[in-house]
Amino acid sequence: MTRPHTHLLEVDIGIRRQEGGPQEELLVMPVWTPGSYLVREFARHVQDFAARDATGQALKWEKTNKNTWRVVTNGSRDWHASYRVYANELTVRTSELNSSHAFWNNANILMYLEGQLASPSTVRVLAPDVWKVATGLPAVLGQKNTFRAENFDVLYDAPFEVSNFKTIVFNVKGVAHRIVIDGEGNYDTERMRRDVQKIVEEHVEFMGGEIPYRDYTFILHARANAGGGLEHANSTALGYPRFGFRIASGDRSTSASPAATGAPARDYRGFLSLVSHEFFHLWNVKRIRPDGLGPFDYTQESYTKVLWVAEGITDYYADLLLRRAGLITESEFLTATARSIQSLQNTPGRRVQSVEESSFDTWIKFYRQDENSVNSQVSYYDKGAILGLLLDLEIRKRTSGAKSLDDVLRYLYTEFGKKNRNYGPADFQRACEMMAGSSLEDFFQRFVRGTEELEYDVALEAVGLRLDTNAGGASVERVYFGADVAQEEDRLMVRRVYAGSPAYDHGLNAGDQIVALDNMRVTRDFFNARIAEKKPGDRIALIIFRFDDLSTLLITLGGRRVGTYRIVPLPNATDAQKRVYRQWLGD
């Protein structure tokens, strides 16, 4: 990184064979990076490729497809390739080099030698002296900023942060953990240390008490609009809004806007939830590996039907373990659960796509959302988490609290993770049935492979709870329009239209510009306020631009009796139900 402001990372790859190599060798750039299921074509950022032998003599080369370079090595045992990679996109799955720091994922910038993914490698980072280097790879003793990877799956699993970062350290059971923070923000490092340590301790105990890594690194980028996380075997990359660490007081459900929009809360608890999610992945997905997800094929999509387990059930435990660690209250856990159930029930796509289909097609659907996604897709995160809850409660009910989904996860870790075997959909179902002590075929057929409406009360009854969909005065029918609108400068645009809604059935389209409502010019606030004053059955006239053409659309508004969902106690819950409740959300 000799000229950070150019965003060009300079890569030199030295290939050394024990004996003479073939006449030609292929260097391959990955097209995707594990954990983020989209072909991102990292080769598009490669430039200035060259190859030379040990004496510095240039070697001939040509590209054979979009991400493969064929080098004529003439049987050389020792040769080099060099190139530069443009890195100017900071997300947890991409790379950025600029004058303030460098962050990269190795699959974005390092090619592998065809047929040699199992070979070991070392990485030496030549960084400006004022910058430190953090990665999950083990350091090579006695060599500055040099790290080793036993194979390319390990190499590609370890992102690097190189900057003048802050470091927070703590130990759990004698194992070193560090949080590396790049970027200023309103975080409290002491509190972060304490709470992240609690998360680590809770997860480790949950998974049986053994720590399966030598050390663990959390890389955190605090930026104005950062978000998301990516899991690795002994590290994680996290992005979070730099002023999103506010410690909110009281129940999150009462803070209006996030609950109202269904958006995840951007406060300190949201950060802990992200940490909990990514950390849980070190077992669920990195060691308890679905079919197809390791060893990896970096040249094309890797399909699996169980991302709903890998992501959804991870999401379920992210919050459940925060609750058990005492970092959120029971009420916060139940409120968040009710909110995600409501969000699922407001997604028409839940009746169109199953979670298995959603998992399988993530490459072309979940990771490529458009205005129709809400009507054609279900999130394997959101529905997967709810299925985790329903399965957990079903197993607890059938066994009077003796077994749970916790046992399923521990079983999968023992039988698949520790034995280095991948699992498939049938293995997961079998593990659940083993813990439940009876068949769950009906459940999986209807709710996992199928798109039937979930039966919340059947599950919640196990712990003496029920779902109240009418909280907050839903006995009154509310007016229903059925589209999301957004203000774009001085234009009011339709973002999405929900299938089956009045707006949908009367022909409003995503992308339409609403010019006037009942002949009056609109802004978003004006539009939403006027609609809220209407009654079901009222007719409105919208003047819209569709592309360049002006037209008038008449829409008869509908009505809905929907309040805020709440999970509430059954009036006469039995002692047995209360006992299972305590075991589940336990202190």
Query: Hey, what amino acid is at 516?
Result: A
* Closest distance to Zn ion from the beta carbon of 278 (Å): 7
Number of residues that bind Zn ion (CB under 5 A): 1
If DSSP codes are grouped into helix, strand and coil, which group holds residue 137?
Answer: coil
Q: Which is nearer to Zn ion, 69 or 366 (CB)?
A: 366
Q: What is the DSSP string of 255-313?
A: SHHHHHHTPPP-SHHHHHHHHHHHHHTTTBTTTBPBTTSSS--TTS----S-HIIIIII
Provide the minimum distance between the beta carbon of 280 and Zn ion in the complex, in angstroms, as a whole number: 8
Residues 284-343 that bind Zn ion (CB under 5 A): 311
Q: CB 281 → Zn ion: shortest distance, Å? A: 6
Shortest Å distance, C-beta 282 to Zn ion: 11
Scanning the structure block, which residue is given the tokens 């409502």? 517
For the bound state, the minimum distance from the C-beta of residue 277 to Zn ion, rounded and expressed in Å, comes to: 5
Give residues 361-420 in contact with Zn ion (rule: CB under 5 A). Answer: none
Closer by beta carbon to Zn ion, 229 or else 349: 229
* Residue number with CB closer to Zn ion (29 or 92): 92
> Which CB atom, from 81 or from 226, has the smaller least distance to Zn ion?
226
CB atoms under 10 Å from CB of 372, counted, come to: 13
Q: Toward Zn ion, which CB reaches closer, 311 or 406?
A: 311
Q: How far is the CB of 230 from Zn ion (least distance, A)?
A: 8
CB burial of 14-53 (b: ≥16 within 10 Å; e: otherwise) equals ebebeeebeebbbbbbbbbbbbbbbebebbebbeebebeb
Burial of residue 523 (CB within 10 Å: 0-12, 13-18, 19+) is: middle
How far apart CA 329 and CA 323 sit, in angstroms, is 6
Query: Least distance to Zn ion from the beta carbon of 284, Å?
Result: 9
Binding mask 531-560 for Zn ion (x = CB under 5 A): ------------------------------
Nearest-CB residue for Zn ion? 311
Min. distance of Cβ 33 from Zn ion in angstroms?
14
Outline where DSSP puts E strands in 402-561. 465-471, 478-480, 483-488, 491-497, 513-517, 520-521, 539-546, 549-556, 558-560
| CB nearer to Zn ion: pick between 287 and 506 | 287
314-324 vs 189-206: helix axis angle to the nearest 10? 110
CA distance 435 to 410: 11
Q: Which is nearer to Zn ion, 247 or 263 (CB)?
A: 263
**What's the N-to-C CA distance of the chain in angstroms?**
49
Quick one: CA dihedral 261, 264, 268, 273, positive or negative?
Answer: positive
Taking only Cα atoms into account, the Rg of the chain, rounded to an integer number of angstroms, comes to 26
Report the nearest approach of Zn ion to the CB of residue 314 (Å): 5
Which residue, 202 or 311, has its beta carbon nearer to Zn ion? 311
Q: Cβ of residue 285: shortest distance to Zn ion, in angstroms?
A: 7
Q: Which is nearer to Zn ion, 309 or 485 (CB)?
A: 309
CB of 531 to Zn ion, least distance (A): 36
- Residue 197 or 362: which CB sits closer to Zn ion? 362
136: helix, strand or coil = coil
**112/279 with CB nearer Zn ion:** 279
DSSP class of 36: B
- Please report which residue ranges of 12-170 form alpha helices under DSSP H: 106-109, 152-156
Q: What does the alpha-carbon distance between residue 25 and residue 13 come to, in Å, rounded to a whole number?
A: 13
Spatial separation of the C-alpha atoms in residues 460 and 581, rounded to whole Å: 10
Nearer to Zn ion, 288 or 555 (CB): 288
Write down the least CB distance from residue 77 to Zn ion, Å. Answer: 42
Q: Alpha-carbon distance 33 to 159, whole Å?
A: 11
Q: Show contacts with Zn ion in window 101-120 (CB under 5 A).
A: none
**DSSP assigned state of 42:** G
CB closer to Zn ion out of 161 and 311 = 311
Burial class (CB in 10 A: 0-12, 13-18, 19+), 382: buried
How far apart are CB 438 and Zn ion at their closest, in Å?
Answer: 31
Q: Which amino acid is at 342?
A: Q
DSSP at 349: G
Rounded to 10°, the helix 268-280/314-324 angle is 120
Residue 253 or 359: the one with the smaller Cβ distance to Zn ion is: 359
Task: Report the nearest approach of Zn ion to the CB of residue 309 (Å).
Answer: 11
115 class by beta-carbon count within 10 Å (0-12 exposed, 13-18 middle, 19+ buried): exposed
Site residues (CB under 5 A) for Zn ion? Answer: 311
